[in-house]
Structure formats: structure tokens, C-alpha cells
């Protein structure tokens, strides 16, 4: 084994790229769950975003248009979940699982003509001055737009939930929809907005996989990233910055174990492959082990207003 073959600068740089899809999906799902809705369809929305984003980018030659289309497509798909669960009061767990299956099937249908096709990818930005700092520059400041957008999104979600009236109302709806309704807030409308936002974020995450990280379309390419995003939201105790830690940890261990495999370590590959899942969950469990976990009290419960 040759640990010298692992370059720490490259490791950190690729960790950020590897974590971004999960981070995008998880921060979207956090908002959905904060409003009291459990959408298990993250995987399906991600892969739909991946295929739609890729197809549009190939056809128009613009990855940015691809990202926009991916966000839109997944938001529309998530609203089908929204209509089913919020108006028709279907079971959220079953509907979310159905959404995942629909997304997987739909994406392989749309994606057939695009297998093996190459798309243009997002260019890396060179942030003036910062990018030229030795070591730190290549690590942190030479990424593409979406990496920074995802971090900005975490900050924005945190600030909106903590400091704004809209964030307060969203949390209130997730905490007790009956009380929120009694005070005159539109529970269903707020939840639909959250669901659409979560869908759009998942779509962006999926498109990042097919347009930047891989970049190519293969069937089933999300390979469980949506489920990891869901788990990260729970183990991060519904806190935005902890979601960031969880996603980067997962991304980091994934990249590290790939590097270790390449460096020819004697640990069996199976252990290395499972390590990102194991370590992420372990660390987040330890973080959230004490005290109040903060699950929204109405999470997963259907709301029906009598009038």
C-alpha cells in the first residue's frame, strides 16, 4: 500500500464534489420534514432530475439550462406526491415509496437514448485572489457554481428557518398543524410549497450527479444517494449545518475509501465500500445522542381541516 499516492489537496477538492448531490437533496428534504411532511421519494426525484438535466443539457448544450430543467421536473414530480398526500390524504410513507419507484422507472425510460452520450459539464470557477492561495485555493476555491450554491442554500435555509416569519410559520405547521390551522395559517399551501422546494433541491442534486460528478447518464446512477440524504436529515436532528457536516462526512469517507482502494490497501474492498455509510451514521448518532432531537411533532401525519 502506498499512502503517499493520496494527495490531500485533491482529496478535499473531490470530497466537496462528491458530497454536493447528497447535500442538495438533504437540505431540500429538511425543509419538507420541517413542514411536517415525510417524503420518502427523494431517490426517485433525484434520478428524475439526473436524467432530465442530462437530456436538456445534451440537447441545448447548456448545463445551466439542464440544472434549471432538472429542478423544475423534480418539483413537478414532487407536487404529484403533494396532491396525493395533502388533498387526497394518502399515506405519506407508501406514496413516497411509490414516488421512488415511479422516478426510477420514468428515468430509465427517458434515459434510454442518452446512454453513452457525452454532455458538456459546468466549468470550474476560479474565484479571484482566493483561488490563488496555495493549498487552500485548489482545495476550496476552484469548484463549479453548484458547489457554492449548495453551501449558500444551507446558509439560506438556516437563516430563513431561524430568523424569518415565514420560517417560523413553516416550523409551526410542522410542529402542530391543528394549532397552526386554528390560528388561520394555510397548512396545505405551506406544505405544498415546502414539498416543491424539496423536489427542486433533489432535482438539482440528481443533475449534479449526471452533469458534473460522473458526468454521464447510466440507469440507476443515484445508487441510494437519496436514501442517504434522508438518513442524514434524521441523524442531523433536522439542523441545517449538521446536514452539511453529515453530507461532507459521507462524501469525504467515500472519496477516501476509493483512494485507499486505488492505493492498494489490504483491507477487503467490502469493508471499504461500506465504510462511508457506517461512519456517517455512527458520527451523526453520536452527535445527536444526547438531549432533544427535534423531530417535528406532526411529521408524517395527515392534516384534514373541517370547515
Partner 1 sequence: MKDTLLEIKGLTKAYPGVVANSDVSFRIGKGEVHALLGENGAGKSTLVKMIYGLVKPDSGRMALNGADYAPADPHAARASGVAMVFQHFSLFEALSVAENVALGMEDPPKPRDLARQIREVSETYGLPLDPDRTVGGLSAGERQRVEIIRCLLQDPRLLIMDEPTSVLTPQEVEILFQTLRKLSAEGTAILYISHKLEEIRSLCETATILRLGKVVDTCDPREASARELAEMMVGSSFDPVQREAKAFGAVRLKVSGLSAKSPGEFGTSLKDISFEVRAGEVLGIGGVAGNGQDELLAALSGEIVTAADMVSFDGTPVGAQGPEARRKAGVLSAPEERLGHAAAPDMSLTENAVLTAAARQGLMRGGFLDWPKARDFAERVIEAFDVRTPGPGTAARALSGGNLQKFVIGREVMQDPQVLVVNQPTWGVDAAAAAAIRQALLHLAAQGTALVVISQDLDELMEVADRFGALNEGRLSEIRPVQGLTVEQIGLMMGGAHDMEVAHVDA
- We find the least distance from the C-beta atom of residue 177 to partner 1, in angstroms, to be 10
- Angstrom distance (rounded) from CA 19 to CA 248: 5
237 is a site residue for partner 1 (CB under 8 A): no
182 is a site residue for partner 1 (CB under 8 A): yes
Choose one: 4-12, 115-123, 221-229, 291-299; the region binding partner 1 (CB under 8 A): 291-299
Nearer to partner 1, 180 or 260 (CB): 180
Cα–Cα separations (whole angstroms), residue 276 to 15, 217, 241, 270, 282: 12, 23, 19, 11, 10
113: which 3 cell numbers? 437514448
Do the Cβ atoms of 58 and 263 come closer than 8 Å? Answer: no
Cα–Cα separations (whole angstroms), residue 207 to 3, 203, 287, 291, 297: 33, 6, 30, 37, 32
Question: Which residue among 10, 93, 136, 183 contacts partner 1 (CB under 8 A)?
Answer: 183
Nearer to partner 1, 187 or 201 (CB): 187
In angstroms, what is the C-alpha Rg of the chain?
A: 20
289 is a site residue for partner 1 (CB under 8 A): no
Contact string 141-180 vs partner 1 (x = CB under 8 A)? ------------------------x--xx-xx--xx-xxx
297 is a site residue for partner 1 (CB under 8 A): yes
Main-chain dihedrals φ then ψ at residue 301, nearest 5 degrees: -90, 140
* Residue 306 DSSP SS3: coil
Nearer to partner 1, 60 or 164 (CB): 164
How many residues bind partner 1 (CB under 8 A)? The answer is 21
Contacts of 5 (CB under 8 A, 6+ apart): 259, 262, 263
Main-chain dihedrals φ then ψ at residue 2, nearest 5 degrees: -130, 95
134 is a site residue for partner 1 (CB under 8 A): no
- Angstrom distance (rounded) from CA 175 to CA 211: 37
306 is a site residue for partner 1 (CB under 8 A): yes
Nearer to partner 1, 83 or 183 (CB): 183
304: which 3 cell numbers? 384534514
Nearer to partner 1, 183 or 223 (CB): 183
Which positions lie near partner 1, rule CB under 8 A?
A: 165, 168-169, 171-172, 175-176, 178-185, 292, 294, 296-297, 306-307
Amino acid at each position: 500500500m502506498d499512502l503517499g499516492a493520496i494527495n490531500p489537496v485533491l482529496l478535499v477538492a473531490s470530497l466537496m464534489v462528491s458530497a454536493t448531490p447528497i447535500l442538495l437533496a438533504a437540505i431540500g428534504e429538511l425543509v419538507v420534514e420541517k413542514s411536517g411532511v415525510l417524503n420518502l421519494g427523494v431517490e426517485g426525484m433525484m434520478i428524475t432530475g439526473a436524467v432530465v438535466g442530462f437530456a436538456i443539457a445534451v440537447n441545448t448544450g447548456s448545463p445551466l439550462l439542464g440544472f434549471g430543467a432538472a429542478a423544475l421536473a423534480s418539483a413537478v414530480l414532487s407536487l404529484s406526491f403533494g396532491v396525493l398526500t395533502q388533498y387526497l390524504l394518502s399515506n405519506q410513507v407508501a406514496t413516497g415509496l411509490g414516488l421512488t419507484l415511479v422516478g426510477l422507472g420514468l428515468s430509465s425510460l427517458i434515459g434510454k437514448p442518452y446512454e453513452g452520450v457525452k454532455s458538456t459539464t459546468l466549468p470550474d470557477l476560479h474565484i479571484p485572489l482566493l483561488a490563488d492561495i496555495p493549498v487552500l485555493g485548489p482545495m476550496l476555491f476552484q469548484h463549479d457554481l453548484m458547489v457554492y450554491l449548495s453551501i449558500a442554500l444551507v446558509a439560506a435555509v438556516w437563516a430563513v428557518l431561524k430568523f424569518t416569519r415565514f420560517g417560523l410559520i413553516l416550523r409551526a405547521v410542522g410542529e402542530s398543524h391543528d394549532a397552526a390551522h386554528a390560528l388561520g395559517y394555510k397548512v396545505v399551501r405551506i406544505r405544498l410549497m415546502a414539498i416543491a422546494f424539496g423536489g427542486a433541491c433533489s432535482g438539482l442534486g440528481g443533475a449534479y450527479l449526471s452533469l458534473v460528478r460522473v458526468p454521464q447518464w447510466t440507469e440507476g446512477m443515484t445508487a441510494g444517494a437519496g436514501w442517504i440524504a434522508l438518513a442524514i436529515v434524521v441523524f442531523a436532528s433536522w439542523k441545517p449545518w449538521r446536514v452539511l457536516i453529515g453530507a461532507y462526512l459521507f462524501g469525504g469517507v467515500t472519496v477516501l475509501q476509493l483512494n485507499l482502494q486505488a492505493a492498494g490497501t489490504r483491507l477487503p474492498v467490502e469493508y471499504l465500500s461500506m465504510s462511508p455509510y457506517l461512519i456517517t451514521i455512527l458520527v451523526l448518532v453520536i452527535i445527536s445522542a444526547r438531549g432533544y432531537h427535534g423531530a417535528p411533532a406532526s411529521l408524517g401525519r395527515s392534516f384534514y381541516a373541517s370547515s
